[in-house]
Structure 1
Amino acid sequence: MIRPFSRVALALGPIALAGCGTQSADAPAIGNATWLAQLSDDSDGDDWPAFGRTYGEQHFSPLTKINADNVDQLGLAWYVDLPAGNPATGPIEVDGTIYLATGYSVIRAIDVETGKEKWTYDPKAPEASGIKLRQGWGSRGIAYWNHKVITATQDGRLIALDEKSGQPVWTAQTFGKDELRFISGPPRVFDGKVMIGSGGSDSGPVRGLVRTYDADTGKMLWEFYTVPGNPADGFENEAMAMAAKTWAGEWWKYGGGGSVWNAMTYDAANDQILLGTGNGAPWNHKIRSAGKGDNLFLCSIVALDAKTGAYKWHYQINPGESWDFNASMDMELADLTIEGQPRQVVMTAPKNGFYYVIDRKTGKLISAKPFVDVTWATGIDLATSRPIEAENVRYEDGPTTFRPTPLGAHSWMPMAYSPQTGLAYIPAIDLEVTFDDSGITPENFKWNPKMGLTPGVGYSIGNGGREQTGWLVAWDPVKQEARWKLPMEAHLNGGIMATGGNLIFQGRPDSGFSAYDARDGKRLWNFDAGAGVVAPPISYRHNGRQYVTVVAGIGTSAGLFGPMFTKYGIDYRHQKRRVLTFMLGGKATLPKQEPYKPVAFDDPDYKANPALAAKGEALFNGRCAVCHGTGAIGGGTAPDLRTPGAAADAQAFASVVRDGVLVPAGMPQFGEFGEEQLGALRQYIRARAAELRSGRNESAAGSTNK
């Protein structure tokens, strides 16, 4: 069972139509018309210039030269090894150059045909981030507009780089230095503008916010808060005044949440922005809003006028959210025929396990059905558009257990939608959670200082006795049913790409990168990437040849699941991080890699002290596990702390944890830790290393985390 954050530690039938709208009629005619046209959902697919390829975020390439009949001839064209740092990122490609952000927004430009690096730009984000380095894992993606590559950094900078030189053209600071926000999601470009959100509402009083800038100059154009602030300060607009009526108590003191940390989609046909908003801050509705009200616009899809940022409509997925069921997973646009009528829709598979189809002109719910096993609700009432919640799901009468979990039935790894098959393809998760807020009240709740995870409720996550925890699901959004589903060995599988060649591409933690028949799910091709693959792949065409590119390596939230990944030999220092590019007839090969087995550091002076280790475990759960893994078993995002020797030496340990000597490498500084806290944390890590030396079952390590 995975218990990442203990309660003690946190006391705290119709056929889908192709395409989904084209470039808006009044879009600015700047730059090269060829690449500009690639952002349209009906583009030819020569380039992949945005995280989801086009405005509609379908993660679909219309290219057909690589197809279900010849994919068995697909081979590696070239690879590029990357340094340590987050590799779970979506690359883009424009006019024969691949651009990607690894680590903390270190941007690289690579020639498509040769794999030769053209330039690298390092914004030195860890050094600039301060305590913001304690949340997030680096960039999940970047954007492109008018010969500029646009990235966002952990510390809140939005930077446009010249595509040829990699030098900054402009930089904008998107939030204040002292705000408890950070950025890990990709910016989105549209209609000459670039938009970015931020995260942080799991660990501090954060109020959801998006800002939009001129993509050529960096001038801020408009902003939109997703939850209301202090009424005494007045409301920014009528939408915030309306939303405030759905909150209770002194919610503004908690921030409220609603972070737009990932999902943003431009609906060109209606010239509107769709925001997928996050969970409440804190999660516990009883603390955040006295247990009352729907709390708009948490866990919602919110439509804004793309030119002004003015509110248009919203649909709330989880009213009064209390489980980290955020609605920040990717949103795909499509034109579907439903009950004989053409409908412009937005589709999303958020954390809560229901697949939603919503009219994107009006925000009216069309349908919603579970795509995994869901027990927190019995369904979505189409008359009210609200979920029918299970008894005690709000843990009002003590502990409650249900599916799915705060990890989501679908995480940030994007799904894909194919206009060709009319199906959505979802990397689905099937796990179980128990919530319990016994002893936690509004009176004793306090945010953990300096961005420590603080949901306001204890929870534990496990498989609930099921071996099958991951699926690749092909979902019919019109019939709201699975066309087919494939079991996966683990629950955290990679982002998905669909292609016009009737193919689905997806990676897995077991180092497999595979192509499946989009029609029936048959695996047609598999490549051993030599590292786990969770990043979404892309496909594009250059000089008449179609390519497929993916970045291999484990990063982001996958690192929490060290106990589940031990069988794959995933380790931060040992694993490879690579850009892999494939073409028909490719003949390149990867060097042989020796299997990894964790070896505990020598610690001849170690003496067991269970009471002190328990105190250290509480600190570890709240501050360290999210990167270093449950039970200190690393899952690839950060080092497995049972193996390096820093914890064996008090001075070396203090220099890393308290003094921050490894900040440039991405290790946050915890300057507030005194000798007592350092000693407890060090004792816990030494105890875990001792257990490894004794040969205790690593997969059971989570049992110490209670």
Structure 2
Amino acid sequence: MNWRNGILALGAVLSLSSLTLAPASLRAADLHDGADGADWPAFGRTYGEQHYSPLDQVNAQTVSRLGLSWFMDLGAGNPATIPVAVDGILYFASGLSVVHAVEAQSGRLLWTYDPEVGAVAGHKMRQGWGSRGIGYWNGKVYTGSADGRLIAIDVKTGKPVWSVMTVDPKDGRYITGAPRLFDGKVIIGHGGGDSADIRGYVTTYDAETGAQLWRFFTVPGNPADGFEDATQEMAAKTWGGEWWKHGGGGNVWNAITYDAETDTVFLGTGNGAPWNRRIRSADIGDNLFLCSIVALDAKTGAYKWHYQVNPGETWDYNAAMTMNLADITIDGRVRKVLMQAPKNGFLYVLDRVTGELLRADRIAKVTWATGIDMATGRPMEVPEARYPGGKDFALWPGANGAHSWMPSAWSPKAGLLYIPTMEQGLTYNDKDITGQSWHRRAGNAYDFAINVGMEIKDPLQNTGWLLAIDPATGEQRWKVQNAAYWNGGVLATGGDLVFQGQTNGILTAYEAATGKPLWTFDAQVPIIAAPITYSVGGTQYLTILVGMGTSGTMMSRDIPIPVDSRNQAKRVLTFALDGKGALPPPRPVELIAAEDPDFHSDPAAEALGAVTYAYQCVVCHGMEAISGGAAPDLRTSPIVPSAELFGEVVRDGSLARSGMPGFDHYSDAELEALRQYIRARANDLRSGQ
């Protein structure tokens, strides 16, 4: 620890009588929202997940001098992750959750730790995109892995201190979210509800030893097995049918926030599984705690209160987005609030002590409801939104939501919340309800299945913007149109700036009050992750990881610049005032179809292969086999024309260690149909289609 950070941290400790001089207490002080900003020790910098730093050396007057200090090229895999910075060292997990420690001033790599996910994750890699972030506590960094491990790593040596398996190795659960650290504890959830019959939960461990402290289930289990507690029994009354056979979903795959003042943990829970309530719950009940903000006692995991944004959810409208904590004045009264913009198109402001709904304001086009009833807190749904009689319904927002996992940022200085907002509609129905759904993209003649329980077709327009809103009044102060609807996470600073990257590769600093662009940098590749800022040796630095990753890569046609994982420059970029660094020339993206002289069109096989592709392959390889940057563009792969090589990779898993899992359940017919579909897409590329 440098002398400046040491004095500031010591002062913070001495000002809090409840804390001691132990290292863990020093770091706890740094995690409070009022910390000085020298470090960025957590996913959202502080407990309150504000994604705000009070640092102001880089400000509206000086930002024009901001320049690249250094960059580091990364390997294959997901780069869309948010680092932490403590005592002048950056820590982040990229690729297959490989943790890096880097000297922040110079960019010198200190160590890496590879959890060897490719060797052990097996089928769990089929849906896991890699890490979205890591955590820090008392000389250790904490990371989750796709196979479900939570690992504590010594920051001095890069060696694991302990590792625990948080899930059943045989189930469909995997981890992509950042662990959160508080009061000597670490909490982690998981994903998997969209691809497996699982029941969501979070688990809290002792940060020093890895001993399990408590677990909270977000969906009740089979009543015949008995309930874990009265809360689960209460939740079960809001479900129908035999929901437990489907798992139910409700995964806490991203959003967890801690309130130190009330010693409360808040969970942002996921959608139902399957999506359609008619399948999972006999079209009955609110289905607690899907799509909810759930408040728990941080010491015991006991239920305090909940607020459900979508009772009986049926559209993938999960509430797993950033929950920003703040103290704001509403109607002349200072309220301790929690703010969240989930997928469904509204911004919710709750009293974080009681769970009372204080405001609910529309931030995007919404057709599923006319508004939120402030007396009951429930949405005023449009009956047609549940597509009675199998009738088509144009749903806004679509399944990607008006806001995804990319963090929003709250500036206590500006009094504004900055939300990376998206707008896209989809047409839904459930005419042929079988547990599968069909999705036809406009202008393309293929169908594919997703285990959600309804038909989804014809994406309806799309756009995106950065929105600045006053959460106390709902007034939208400004919004800036983005290059595409899928856009990056946000950082707000005490320098009256807001930073955001976009999928066109441009990182921009906006004036916090007006949205006026003051500075830009061309990263050459799409940006999804949010930047962080911190101070070392009296200099303010800004760091961001660039390159396309996580679920946005599925929407490959909506990325405004061409990408392919084999030539996309995935990097760490670090900036400072008067930085003189420069990136090398952009790597050309040349998508040349693999030679395949024996190809002959087979429409029936291609239609079957399209279903298989979209159910399993689209997650990493992109819509219509067009790469979104997470994995290679299969149209250019020399493996696909060979039936033997294709089988070795796809079914036998010969490239599992590189991140390509095996799909050993495919029959010969399914495998060949999948290969035929990809060959047809390559032929389209050769033909210029």
Alignment of 1:199-598 (within 5 A): 199-397=191-389, 398-441=391-434, 453-460=450-457, 462=459, 464=460, 466=461, 469-565=463-559, 567-598=560-591
Question: Does the Cα contact within 8 Å between 1:405 and 1:461 map onto a contact in 2?
Answer: no
> Once the 2 structures are TM-superposed, how far is the Cα of residue 514 of structure 1 from its aligned partner?
1.0
> Per-residue displacement from partner, 1:543-581 (whole Å, max 9, x unpaired)?
11000000011011121122222x412111111011000
Question: Paired residue for 1:136?
Answer: 128
> Per-residue displacement from partner, 1:45-83 (whole Å, max 9, x unpaired)?
000000000000000000000001110000000001111
Aligned partner of residue 227 in structure 1, secondary structure: coil
Structure 1 runs (4+) deviating above 6 angstroms are 22-25
> Once the 2 structures are TM-superposed, how far is the Cα of residue 105 of structure 1 from its aligned partner?
1.2
Letter in 1 for 2:677: Y
Distance 2:16 2:223 in 1: 37
Question: Paired residue for 2:440?
Answer: none
Distance 1:639 1:460 in 2: 26
> Once the 2 structures are TM-superposed, how far is the Cα of residue 453 of structure 1 from its aligned partner?
4.6
> Once the 2 structures are TM-superposed, how far is the Cα of residue 481 of structure 1 from its aligned partner?
2.2
Distance 2:16 2:563 in 1: 45
Distance 1:28 1:641 in 2: 56
Question: Does the Cα contact within 8 Å between 2:567 and 2:588 map onto a contact in 1?
Answer: no
Aligned partner of residue 495 in structure 1, secondary structure: strand
Distance 2:450 2:322 in 1: 24
> Per-residue displacement from partner, 1:430-480 (whole Å, max 9, x unpaired)?
1001112111147x99xxxxxx95111221352x2x4x6111000110111
Distance 1:528 1:343 in 2: 40
Residue ranges of structure 2 left out of the alignment (5+ in a row): 1-13, 438-448
Distance 2:453 2:20 in 1: 47
For this pair of structures, how many residues does the alignment match? Answer: 665
Aligned partner of residue 23 in structure 2, secondary structure: coil
Question: Does the Cα contact within 8 Å between 1:51 and 1:143 map onto a contact in 2?
Answer: yes
> Once the 2 structures are TM-superposed, how far is the Cα of residue 391 of structure 1 from its aligned partner?
2.7
Distance 1:497 1:23 in 2: 28
Distance 1:532 1:228 in 2: 40
> Once the 2 structures are TM-superposed, how far is the Cα of residue 228 of structure 1 from its aligned partner?
0.7
> Per-residue displacement from partner, 1:167-220 (whole Å, max 9, x unpaired)?
001111111111210100000000100000011111121111000000011100
> Once the 2 structures are TM-superposed, how far is the Cα of residue 305 of structure 1 from its aligned partner?
0.2
Percent of aligned pairs with the same residue? 54
| Gap change, CA 1:461 and 1:499, over 3 Å in 2 | farther
Q: Verify: 1:74 aligned to 2:71, yes or no.
A: no
Distance 1:313 1:25 in 2: 30
Question: Paired residue for 1:645?
Answer: 638
| Gap change, CA 1:311 and 1:651, over 3 Å in 2 | same
Question: Paired residue for 2:11?
Answer: none
Question: Does the Cα contact within 8 Å between 1:24 and 1:269 map onto a contact in 2?
Answer: no
Distance 2:219 2:104 in 1: 43
> Per-residue displacement from partner, 1:247-282 (whole Å, max 9, x unpaired)?
111111111111000000001111000000110111
Q: Verify: 1:54 aligned to 2:51, yes or no.
A: no
Question: Does the Cα contact within 8 Å between 1:24 and 1:268 map onto a contact in 2?
Answer: no
> Once the 2 structures are TM-superposed, how far is the Cα of residue 125 of structure 1 from its aligned partner?
1.1
Letter in 2 for 1:543: G
Question: Paired residue for 2:8?
Answer: none
Which residue of the other structure, out of 123, 126, 129, is the alignment partner of 2:118?
Answer: 126
> Once the 2 structures are TM-superposed, how far is the Cα of residue 594 of structure 1 from its aligned partner?
3.9
Distance 2:360 2:22 in 1: 40
Letter in 1 for 2:541: Y
Question: Paired residue for 1:108?
Answer: 100
| Gap change, CA 1:27 and 1:140, over 3 Å in 2 | farther
Distance 2:181 2:120 in 1: 25
Which residue of the other structure, out of 625, 629, 633, is the alignment partner of 2:626?
Answer: 633
Please report the TM-score for the alignment, with normalisation by the length of structure 2: 0.95
Distance 2:24 2:266 in 1: 27
Question: Paired residue for 1:190?
Answer: 182
Aligned partner of residue 655 in structure 1, secondary structure: helix
Which residue of the other structure, out of 152, 173, 180, is the alignment partner of 2:172?
Answer: 180
Distance 2:464 2:305 in 1: 34
| Gap change, CA 1:229 and 1:115, over 3 Å in 2 | same
> Once the 2 structures are TM-superposed, how far is the Cα of residue 292 of structure 1 from its aligned partner?
0.8
> Once the 2 structures are TM-superposed, how far is the Cα of residue 30 of structure 1 from its aligned partner?
3.1
Aligned partner of residue 541 in structure 1, secondary structure: strand
Aligned partner of residue 348 in structure 2, secondary structure: strand
Letter in 1 for 2:483: E
Residue ranges of structure 1 left out of the alignment (5+ in a row): 1-21, 446-451, 697-706
| Gap change, CA 1:399 and 1:383, over 3 Å in 2 | same
Distance 1:568 1:60 in 2: 29
Distance 1:269 1:562 in 2: 43
| Gap change, CA 1:677 and 1:23, over 3 Å in 2 | farther
Moved more, 206-215 or 23-32: 23-32
Distance 1:521 1:23 in 2: 37
| Gap change, CA 1:24 and 1:385, over 3 Å in 2 | farther
> Once the 2 structures are TM-superposed, how far is the Cα of residue 130 of structure 1 from its aligned partner?
1.3
Distance 1:564 1:23 in 2: 50
Question: Paired residue for 1:8?
Answer: none
Question: Does the Cα contact within 8 Å between 2:565 and 2:630 map onto a contact in 1?
Answer: yes
Question: Does the Cα contact within 8 Å between 1:431 and 1:461 map onto a contact in 2?
Answer: no
Alignment of 1:684-699 (within 5 A): 684-696=677-689
Letter in 2 for 1:169: V
Question: Does the Cα contact within 8 Å between 1:28 and 1:192 map onto a contact in 2?
Answer: no
> Once the 2 structures are TM-superposed, how far is the Cα of residue 25 of structure 1 from its aligned partner?
6.9
Q: Verify: 1:95 aligned to 2:87, yes or no.
A: yes
Letter in 1 for 2:578: G
Which residue of the other structure, out of 597, 608, 611, is the alignment partner of 1:618?
Answer: 611
Question: Does the Cα contact within 8 Å between 1:416 and 1:497 map onto a contact in 2?
Answer: yes
Question: Does the Cα contact within 8 Å between 2:336 and 2:352 map onto a contact in 1?
Answer: yes
> C-alpha root-mean-square deviation of aligned residues, in Å?
1.6
Which residue of the other structure, out of 72, 77, 83, is the alignment partner of 1:85?
Answer: 77
Letter in 2 for 1:117: L
Aligned partner of residue 383 in structure 2, secondary structure: coil
Distance 2:655 2:517 in 1: 43
> Once the 2 structures are TM-superposed, how far is the Cα of residue 27 of structure 1 from its aligned partner?
6.0
Distance 2:21 2:387 in 1: 54
Distance 1:142 1:461 in 2: 37
